[in-house]
A and B are shown apart, each in its own frame.
Chain A
């Protein structure tokens, strides 16, 4: 008789799963499979009582394998592994079946969804039977941190880490620190001059004994793993080799170029400028038309390149409030002028922002709404008889009329977009891009700071467009995460590595050639290959290449996957 004792738990996830999957039927259907000792359903397996249920059953029923059929393992695999550990069972004697993201949320027929859920759970049961306990490994952490990007996010993180007396290498691709904020005159909603905090911050960073700033520098190559990275950094003609334990990517974004949008005539019509060009004027203290006259009518057009099916679908998040800031700044400098706001939707979330909107709307500012689906505003030169330079034709949404807005100066609120280099840098450090070319965080809710590569964190606008305070919040969170690992001194690393059965290895060295990490070497004296498990990241390509089957990938063994395939196909028998 087998000594495998499996407990199966089917989660309702409230109604998320239970609405589309008959969870009771799933639990019943797998309950009579070999080695399954108990099979239950429960409302929220990830809740404390849900985990307690597993822990209690492990002890009471002497379970030595657990299957939880719930959400994606990307969400709660670690949660349940911890529960197993709390019950004294090795964390790897566990398997999840994803019946939420990959069943209940994507299917519409309850019967079919239930049938598929049963198949997936059977696959998991078949697989878990072959799971082996794996011992966690820890590696020492190099206390130095590499930060890529010297904008507000990168500098905030650098100072946070340096103030804890840990070394920081700060890379900036430009000649000077400061990032996009170098081009911004004042903040919203509080009108603080950015130089008030950016300049002292740059000064602190440049003079901090624990921060080495490398400007006009890029990361060419990255090797190693969490705690022990080696980077090849290009500065001018030199390439430096630097060692560090963690990385924060804070590489920022860039403004959208509105030139391809013909309706705005940017670059062709005089006095059509971008928000950044207005910032320059605000910085010099003079808002003037190209003929040096003061503008009497200033129009500000929102959502240029943002929330558009043609350019960028996302909201750049800071432009609405920046546009309100401009209204106030323009009226301060030109008290007799009229300001028009051509907006698509006014997004005033965040502390003090709704108040800014209310206060601005009481001033000499006219708010006109347009609908991007109903045609974008069109700018043309005004005739000689008009009392303005430019006319903006727009389908005003609230009145339902096509109107002409007079303007001497038009400001395009250009959206933001990812850097051209974002993709290349992402590939170098091993993080992926979302559809809008911003970096993807490890988890959008539960871990918005880490990435799928251990030891690599993201901060600021390279992850999504952000305002100053959100960038700083994320940067400091990343810094805190890194300081925690440095403080502990070591981190857990991948245990699902490859290993060689040296009795079967024929020494052909195929594995040595396919390993992307140089983790396998041929030991000439023993005429076998051997895996350096610190370098191995567990991709499994060596296992698949091995002609004799001498290599196996821990937790993704041939037996485990083949059994899972058998399990998911089991339903055939019933037809």
Chain B
């Protein structure tokens, strides 16, 4: 059976989730591999959620927030960016390839960009193959 990537996407409510909704209302198409979890702000995203997603078997994780300067809560996306860099370092030390975690800015009007991002993320993860960190984590659990 062909490998179907499992991707969890955390989207902020104001820009990115609305952008993903717009992809729907505009009837744009992207692979069904992406499963979206809504949070209020990308500033709510920390290592716990990202690691949990990998722990539960995700092959890739996406975080989407408002563009710099556009955060509904002024600066949550900047905090997300800082944490993202740390989480990136952390997952690499765990042996997870950095391309499996991606941070992107998607505005409420960028339905097309979201659909393209979902498409490209799926392709990247398909190329990388399954993330085997789940079994590693279970071994040490």
* Chain A interface residues toward B at CB < 8 A: 72-74, 98, 100-103, 105-109, 112-113, 115-116, 119-120, 123, 427, 430, 432-435, 440, 452-453, 496, 514, 516-517, 537-541, 543-545, 553, 556, 558, 561-562, 564-566, 568-569, 572
- Those of B1-15 within 8 Å (CB) of chain A: 6, 8, 14-15
Q: How far is A376 from B42 in the complex, measured between Cα atoms in Å?
A: 44
Contact B24 A100 (CB under 8 A): yes
CA distance A380 to B74 in the complex (A): 50
Whether B41 contacts A539 by the Cβ 8 Å rule is: yes
- Distance in angstroms between the alpha carbons of A433 and B28 in the assembled complex: 21
- Not counting A103-B32, A538-B40, A541-B41, a sample of 20 additional A-B residue pairs whose C-beta atoms are within 8 angstroms of each other reads A74-B18, A98-B21, A98-B36, A102-B20, A106-B24, A112-B32, A120-B36, A430-B72, A514-B43, A517-B73, A540-B40, A541-B43, A544-B46, A556-B39, A556-B40, A562-B49, A562-B52, A568-B8, A568-B35, A568-B37
With an 8 A cutoff between CB atoms, is B103 at the interface?
Answer: no
Question: Which of A109, A123, A545 has a CB less than 8 Å from the CB of B35?
Answer: A123
- Contact of B75 with A by CB under 8 A: yes
Given contacts A540-B43, A544-B83, A562-B52, contact A569 B108 (CB under 8 A): no
Bound complex: CA A102 to CA B17 (Å)? 9
Instruction: Please indicate the chain A residues that have their CB under 8 angstroms from the CB of B14 in the complex.
Output: 432, 452
Q: Does B89 contact A (CB under 8 A)?
A: no
CB pair B44–A553 under 8 Å, yes or no, is yes
A30 to chain B, nearest CB (A): 15
**Residues on A with beta carbons closer than 8 Å to the beta carbon of B39:** 540, 556, 561
Provide the residues of chain A in CB contact with B107, threshold 8 Å.
Answer: 432-433
Let me know if A105 and B24 touch, CB within 8 A.
yes
Nearest chain B CB to A27's CB is how many angstroms away?
A: 19
Q: Can you pick out 10 interface pairs between chain A and chain B where the beta carbons lie within 8 Å of each other?
A: A72-B24, A98-B21, A101-B25, A433-B109, A514-B79, A539-B72, A544-B46, A553-B44, A564-B37, A569-B8
Inside 8 A of A107's CB, which chain B residues have their CB?
Answer: 29-32
Output the least CB separation between A199 and chain B (Å). Answer: 38
In the complex with contacts A537-B73, A544-B45, A565-B52, A434-B29 CB distance below 8 A: no
Q: Complex Cα distance A562/B29, Å?
A: 28
Decide if B24 touches A102 in the complex (CB within 8 Å). Answer: yes
Q: With a CB–CB cut-off of 8 A, which chain B residues contact A98?
A: 21, 36, 38
Give complex CA distance A572, B35 in Å. 13
Whether A105 pairs with B25 at a CB distance below 8 angstroms is: yes
Interface string of B70-113 (1 = CB under 8 A from A): 10111110010001000000000000000000000001111000
Instruction: Establish whether residues B44 and A544, one from each chain, have CB atoms under 8 Å apart when the complex forms.
Output: yes
CA distance in complex: A119, B107 (Å): 26
Residues of chain A contacted by B37 (CB below 8 angstroms): 123, 561, 564-565, 568
B58 within 8 A of A: yes
User: Contacts of A432 on B, CB cut-off 8 Å?
Assistant: 14-15, 66, 70, 72, 107-109
What chain B residues lie within 8 Å of A516 (beta carbons)?
Answer: 73-76
B69-A427 in contact (CB<8A): yes
Cα–Cα distance between A116 and B34 once the two chains are bound (Å): 9
Known contacts A452-B72, A541-B44; A106/B53 CB under 8 A: no
List residues of chain B with CB within 8 A of the CB of A556: 39-40, 44
Chain B residues, Cβ within 8 Å of A566 = 52, 56
Q: What residues of B have a CB within 8 angstroms of the CB of A116 in the complex?
A: 32, 35
**Contact call A102/B36, Cβ cutoff below 8 A:** yes
Residues of B within 8 A of A115 (CB): 32
Q: Note all chain B residues with C-beta closer than 8 A to A564.
A: 37
Chain B residues within 8 Å of A72, by CB: 17, 21, 24
Complex-state Cα separation, A101 to B11, whole angstroms: 14
Q: Which residues of B contact A544 (CB under 8 A)?
A: 43-46, 79, 83
A106 pairs with B48, CB closer than 8 A: no
A539's partner among B6, B36, B44, B56 (CB-CB below 8 A) is B44
* Residues of chain A lying within 8 A (CB to CB) of residue B57: 569, 572
Closest to B50 in A: A565
Q: How far is B108's CA from A72's CA once the two chains are assembled, in angstroms?
A: 14
A568 CA / B35 CA spacing, docked (Å)? 7
Say yes or no: B70 contacts A562, CB within 8 Å. no
Most buried by B among A108, A109, A539: A539
Q: Complex: how many Å from CA A452 to CA B109?
A: 14
* Contact between B8 and A108, CB atoms less than 8 A apart: no
Are A427 and B49 CB-contacts (below 8 A) given A440-B108, A569-B8?
no
Chain A residues near B23 (CB-CB < 8 A): 101, 106
Minimum CB–CB distance from A185 to chain B (whole Å) comes to 35
Given the known interface contacts A113-B32, A568-B37, the answer about A540 and B44 at a Cβ–Cβ threshold of 8 Å is yes
User: For the complex, what is the distance from the CA of A433 to the CA of B69, rounded to whole Å?
Assistant: 12
Residues of A within 8 A of B58 (CB): 569
Known: A432-B108, A452-B72, A569-B6. A120 touches B44 (CB 8 A): no
CB-CB under 8 A from B15, the residues of chain A are 432
Q: Are B49 and A561 in contact (CB under 8 A)?
A: yes
C-alpha gap A116/B21 in the complex (Å): 16
Q: A106-B29, A107-B29, A544-B46 are in contact. Are A539 and B8 (CB under 8 A)?
A: no
